[in-house]
Amino acid sequence: MGSVPPLSKTAHDLLIDIARCRLAQSCLVAETSDHPCSNIVAHQWSHRPLAERLGRWQTEHHMPEPWYGHLELAPILFLSSNPSIASPPQVSPDPLPPYSKQGHPLQTRLGRAPTCSWEDDGLERWYEDAFDFRVVDGKRGLQSDGAPKDATMYWSSVKRRAEELIPNRSVQPGIDYALTEAVHCKSREENGVADALRVCSKRYLLRVLEASAATVIMVMGKHAKTAVLSCVPMSSEPHLEGPIRVGDRERYFAFLPHPNAFKSRTVASCFRQDEIDHLRQVIARAPYGRNVNRLSHGDQAVPADAGMPIDACPGCNRQVSDLTPNCPHCGGPVTSAPRLENVSSNPERGIQYPASSDVRTARGLVTKVLLVLALACFGYWAYRSASISPPPPPLKPLPAQNANPPEFRKCVKCGTQLKPGTNYCITCGAKLEASK
């Protein structure tokens, strides 16, 4: 890979603004806070005394992560919830080596997460060059001695998704794709993300998308989806949305389950083949960055004119990308812009999105209604079965009563009542007279 120049001033300022987030620092120095970000910021210090946090956070607290990879180069940007942290931060007993621009400036800082004591240039190189020197094959980080760690599940999953979108060559992490999050502070198992999501995404997400060179944004998980919907107008149940102009270019937003979700999360299982082919076409025709001649891609350098194909607008005759549906200068249609075969438009928002989104929404609604009705019928049947007892068995008929029962006989000697037909008294033994 050829030499990659530093970030533009706008992207550099954004990276530093995120890494040195004033909201995070104010939560760290506050003894108590009801700010939405306080839970996720203090997560790294959840098992430490308050006095220890107040005295040591500047040298030990892992800073918010702006992004990983070359944001202004990569045609694919993966967006997830927030960066994970394996364990509470540990301070190294050795002093921080001085930052040097000779060779790779951060080679002596392996195994150390950035803290507030780092220089701004060191922060930029740490995040921008993450996949170039301290992540092996896009999957495994390096320890302080340079030995590779075990593969990170999230990084591995992201690389597999990128390989699905770029199937005809080897994928270069950091060049072909970059990573960012809706919430930039670290935590385990997305702890505190729901509380901080609205604040952090409103503060940074749109700025990151505008600074990115990506034409395809892969939105992974419910938190990332919520963040995108809060700042980019699109359908309420998104699937594959685009093209939508964000910043200086048209972009497609593809929505996938989170890599840790217990469901199918591959590109092949979540999108139709024509949708996948269209995303691959958009990626293949996208420029690698704003100054594409600064990058040598693989073994073959990318020429300066190898960026996005350019057409002349039929309305104003000015140069526009043939991937954009409308001219950014006069607003007229660009007839050569490729489209999915089955695309419908929302005239109220001017947004184009696949008609399959509406079909999936309708089918899902019908399925939910039928499921509710089935559960209601089952519940009513169970209630009736439990509340209504079976009818009692029919009563046995009483034996017929003799209309003229025989009269009892009476012993004339002792007066004992005797049954009819008795000839001797059971008490005194006297013989009874014959019945008349």
pLDDT tens digits, 116-163: 888 898 899 889 988 988 888 888 887 767 788 888 899 999 999 999
For 361, other C-beta atoms within 10 Å of its C-beta total 15
CA distance 353 to 250: 13
- Kindly indicate the confidence band of residue 104, based on its pLDDT and cuts at 50, 70 and 90: low
Structure tokens that stand for 389 in this block: 């007892």
What pLDDT is recorded for position 67?
A: 96
CA distance 325 to 335: 8
How far apart (Å, rounded) are the C-alpha atoms in residues 361 and 354? 12
Q: Name the token pair of 297.
A: 């891609």
Q: Which of 62-71, 99-108, 320-329 has the highest mean pLDDT?
A: 62-71
Per-residue pLDDT, 83: 92
pLDDT class for 312, splitting at 50, 70, 90? low
Task: Give the residue, 3 or 300, on which the prediction is more confident.
Answer: 3
The answer to whether 214 and 74 have CB atoms below 8 angstroms apart is yes
CA nearest 185: which of 173, 175, 194, 176? 194
* Pairwise pLDDT comparison (114 vs 211), residue with the higher score: 211
pLDDT at residue number 349: 35
Of 45-49, 156-160, 362-366, highest mean pLDDT: 156-160
Rg (CA), the chain: 39
| pLDDT mean over 60-64 | 90
pLDDT band of residue 236 (cuts 50, 70, 90) is confident
CA-closest candidate to residue 224, choices 252, 261, 193: 193
- Average pLDDT of the chain is 78
Residue 192: is it exposed, middle or buried by C-beta count within 10 angstroms (0-12/13-18/19+)? Answer: buried
The predicted structure's pLDDT at residue 400: 58
CB distance 124 to 114 below 8 Å = no
Cα 179-160-288 angle, rounded to 5 deg: 50
Digit-coded pLDDT (tens) for 260-293: 888 888 999 999 999 999 999 999 988 765 443 3
Q: Has this prediction a pTM greater than 0.85?
A: no
User: For residue range 207-217, what is the model confidence (pLDDT) as tens digits?
Assistant: 999 999 999 99
Phi, psi of 269, deg, nearest 5: -85, -15
239-267 residue pLDDT tens: 999 899 999 899 999 999 998 888 888 99
Q: Is 367 exposed, middle or buried (0-12, 13-18, 19+ CB in 10 A)?
A: exposed
Strands 417-418 and 135-136: unpaired
Least confident of 93-102, 174-183, 267-276: 93-102
- Among 11, 46, 7, 41, smallest CA distance to 24 is for 41
Q: What pLDDT is attached to residue 22?
A: 93
